[in-house]
A and B are shown apart, each in its own frame.
Chain A
Amino acid sequence: MAEFERTFDICAGLDFPSVREWKQAHPESKAIAYFPVYAPVELIHAAGMLPVGLSGAGDQLDIQHADARFGSFICSIVKTTLEMGLTGHLEPFDGFLFSTICDSARNLCFVMKRNFPAMYVDFLHLPHNPSSPAAAQFLTEEYRRVLSEFERLGNCKVSDDALRSSIRLYNRSRALIRGLYELRRQNPEKVPTSELYQLVRAGTFLPVEEHITQLERVLAEVASRSPKKRDSIRIVVEGSFCEQPPLPLIRLIEEAGCYVVDDDFVIGQSWFDADLPTDGDPVPALATSYLDHSVYSSVRHDLRKPRWDGLVEKVRRSKADAVLFLIAKFCEPAYFDYVPYKQELERAGIPHLQLEFEEKSFTFDRLRTEIETFVESLVFD
């Protein structure tokens, strides 16, 4: 699947070449960058704009300014995002959308606002109390507010029909991703995770229509593969929902003898466990889907169903042997969740290993040893 790698490289360039290209082809249209984890891309799309996920700068950028602004003990993606802004790499964008994921990202939103005063910078409040009957109404209003900002920016009026067709498109891309994930659960040898990861992540850069075509092609191609099965253990990777691990690290995990049978990489791309309704009023549909049909993650809180139950369930569903916690350094939500996750896994007798990464790391010797030892301990158990 060399094709992925090419797409991925093109998309993920520091200067967002695919976004520049899109803007050249659509000179009147705007591009909105959203900070991970979750963004209502349908609203952006319906306003005729290109939603693009910001996922840090990996190891491609030397931090010159952002360290002084954000100091120690702050995760890398917050700094590389600001650095990209301060060094002109985010120039193709007309606006930035942040949401309630964590305190560092929240403050970043307002630091961006001060440093880019001409830019549209907004903050979306996603409810942390979905069990309240009042949450749906609130989120509907919140989406309407943000939508009206997009309309202002895009100088357009978004009809319900337009929004419904955007939802339909994203339903399609998410269903395809769910399909690939399902295929990988059943035949992990057919869908190597390093490839799946790149394919899914490309979707944060590309127009959704293009991504759908890609996903469809790959799904057809992958189904017809018949590679040899390796003698690997089956693992779930948890904790990389926001800052993304370097690609070589994902490869390394596979090389060390693991089939990744589920993960939370680029989790926003598969945020809903079912299609969103495409009949009726679309904004409330988006809101209730977020509240009732979004997948768990460390930055989404729902008292009706603890995240740790979600993790155990995920392990069972994917028939995994173990969990690998892959946590971005200084990612406080992931650090916190590690404790209840670990407790529940231990209660369920599921082995686990915790590792830390930074998007900019490039040597992995120590991590390799730890993973290999872990795999061995499971194989010879």
Chain B
Amino acid sequence: MTEKKEYRGSIHQQQKDLMLAWYEQLDHAAITGDPPTVSMMISGNCVELLEGFGAVPIYPEVNALQLAIRHQSLDPILAAEDLGYAADNCAYVKADIGCILKGITPTGGRLPTPTLILCNFVGCNTYLKWFEHLAKLQQAPLYVIDVPFMRADEPSRSDVDYVVKQLQETVKTLEQLTGRKFDHDRFRQAVECSSRSEELWSQIKHLARRSPSPFDAYFDAITLMGPLYVYRGKPEGVEFFEVALAELQAKVDAGQGVYEKEHFRVVMEGPPPYPYFRTFRDMFAKWQACAVASTYSTVGGLWEFGFRHDPENPFESVAMHMIAQNVTNRNYLQRYEQIRRYVEEWNADGVIIHFVKSCRLFSAGQGDMRDYFAKQLGVPTLYIESDLEDPRYFAEAQTRNRIDAFFESLEHAKATLSTRV
């Protein structure tokens, strides 16, 4: 009953190679100071801008999640708690700070002290604290891009202008720090590449509307997300997503899904429990339940509803992406709407809300979200709690029981429905 076919085409290897090459560049930068490096947040990142300097991003969140997936997050978390961080602070931050204190890196290679710590503040207030602390700890320069939160349906002219001006200030700061001139053409080319990667990524996401879905838009999407953040503005990124789309399209054409028989289609809300990633996945595989959409996979950018970077207006489109086109900077009700569209347009049977203790950005108010879906819209909704980085908060048996109970009742509902029909 537990047969599962994770998406493991050639793309899987390519993804690994790309990510390793990225870490090698960082290792090189740590020794030689070249290329320049910029620490950034995943959410609404402006990686295109870095291309104008030939600079490479460092993503502390990626480091933290890698560590958790490999069951190595507890030690650094404890080291950070020794320093005074609270049990209830975001554990991503604690793991990252702990790693710096203890000299741990995701690959065992070196990580450079960033040329610039660039806090792209998109929604999460923890980002501000995290990067301030990093700057203090690493004695590196810090710049904050203050991105106005989505308090209306669309950003205002003044919101966009404000971000564009700060992007231009970032350019000046980087010119000073790197001693390099900003290469506008390269920037524009990066924006062009991004728009192509995004188009491909969006098409991939839309393939999950097919039944059976050729990939899991939560568990498999996470594999594809690394290249999306590091490489989308480069030709390698475009190429990667071309291959991914072709492979998945071939699966669709052959009628192949994630599971032999796709039993349930769900939408996932919230980040995954990385310390128990595999265990968690198996709990869904057992029921042949495929995630056809997820909000977590739109942290870096929300492209399935049509947004693309625009090489004709590179700065403005980078600003638009940071303000309006990533889940973290969109308001809570816009997230409800996003999930509602997934349920309807991706044809899902239910919503799984994963409350993550560390992350108030995602989790504060998820009980209200459940109320909205379950009571107001009548969508079967499951609410479970754990953490994305701290292994101490995963109650395995309890989580399994709740997932089992949820799918049992869904199955029951389906059976009653089909006998009625």
Contacts and interface: CB of A to CB of B under 8 A. Distances in A.
B133 A340 contact: yes
Interface stretch (B38-46, B141-149, B245-253, B277-285): B141-149
Given A103-B360, A333-B125, A338-B84, A108 B365 contact: yes
B85 A71 contact: no
A94 B255 CA distance: 56
A113 interface: yes
Contact of B88 (A113, A332, A339): A332
Given A113-B333, A339-B83, A342-B84, A128 B360 contact: no
Interface string B142-158: 11111011010000101
B367 A70 contact: yes
B133 A336 contact: yes
B361 A103 contact: yes
Interface string A83-122: 0000000000000000011111011111101110000001
A123 B152 CA distance: 9
A336 B361 CA distance: 15
Interface stretch (B160-168, B192-200, B228-236, B290-298): B160-168
A321 to B, nearest CB: 21
A110 B333 contact: yes
Contact of B156 (A132, A133, A145): A145
A17 B158 CA distance: 40
A127 B367 contact: no
A332 B368 contact: no
B331 A123 contact: yes
A332 B125 CA distance: 9
A37 to B, nearest CB: 12
Interface in A322-345: 330, 332-333, 335-340, 342-343
Interface in B79-106: 83-86, 88-90, 93
A114 B128 contact: no
Interface string B105-136: 00000000000000001011110110011001
B402 to A, nearest CB: 14
B371 A69 contact: yes
A182 interface: no
B61 interface: no
A365 B376 CA distance: 45
Given A74-B364, A114-B368, A132 B166 contact: yes
B363 interface: yes
Given A333-B125, A336-B126, A102 B360 contact: yes
A337 B84 CA distance: 10
A69 B365 contact: yes
A222 interface: no
A265 B361 CA distance: 25
Contacts of B144: 128-129, 301, 303
B23 interface: no
Contact of A335 (B89, B161, B162, B385): B89
Interface size class of A (residues with CB under 8 A): 35 or more
B332 interface: yes
B367 to A, nearest CB: 4
A109 B149 CA distance: 12
Interface in B51-83: 83
A343 B125 CA distance: 21
Contact of A108 (B90, B149, B333, B364): B364
A137 interface: yes
Interface in A132-156: 132-135, 137-138, 141-142, 145
B399 to A, nearest CB: 15
A78 interface: yes
A72 interface: yes
B332 A71 contact: no
A73 interface: yes
Contact of A73 (B126, B146, B169, B357): B357
Contacts of B90: 332
Contact of B364 (A107, A122, A340): A107
B189 to A, nearest CB: 27
B104 to A, nearest CB: 19
B288 interface: no
B366 interface: yes
A330 B367 CA distance: 17
Given A71-B385, A122-B151, A138-B158, A128 B128 contact: yes
Nearest to B371: A69
A132 B364 contact: no
A138 B332 contact: no
A104 B360 contact: yes
Interface in A286-317: 299, 301, 303, 306
Given A103-B361, A123-B149, A335 B128 contact: no
A240 to B, nearest CB: 16
A107 B156 contact: no
Contact of B367 (A71, A332, A336, A337): A71
A340 B125 contact: no
Given A332-B125, A342-B84, A134 B161 contact: yes
Contacts of B365: 69-70, 104, 107-108, 110-111
B126 A332 contact: yes
A39 to B, nearest CB: 15
Interface string B280-312: 000000000000000000000000000000000
A125 interface: yes
A338 B94 CA distance: 14
A68 interface: yes
Given A73-B357, A101-B125, A340-B136, 19 more contacts: A68-B367, A69-B367, A71-B355, A73-B360, A103-B123, A103-B126, A104-B365, A106-B364, A110-B331, A123-B331, A125-B151, A128-B121, A133-B165, A138-B161, A141-B158, A303-B142, A335-B88, A335-B89, A342-B84
Interface of B: 83-86, 88-90, 93, 121, 123-126, 128-129, 132-133, 136, 142-146, 148-149, 151, 156, 158-159, 161-162, 165-166, 169, 331-333, 336, 355, 357, 360-361, 363-368, 371-372, 385
7 contacts: A72-B357, A100-B125, A106-B123, A106-B364, A107-B360, A336-B85, A336-B129
7 residue pairs, one from A and one from B, having the closest CB atoms: A110-B332, A129-B146, A134-B165, A336-B129, A141-B158, A335-B86, A103-B360
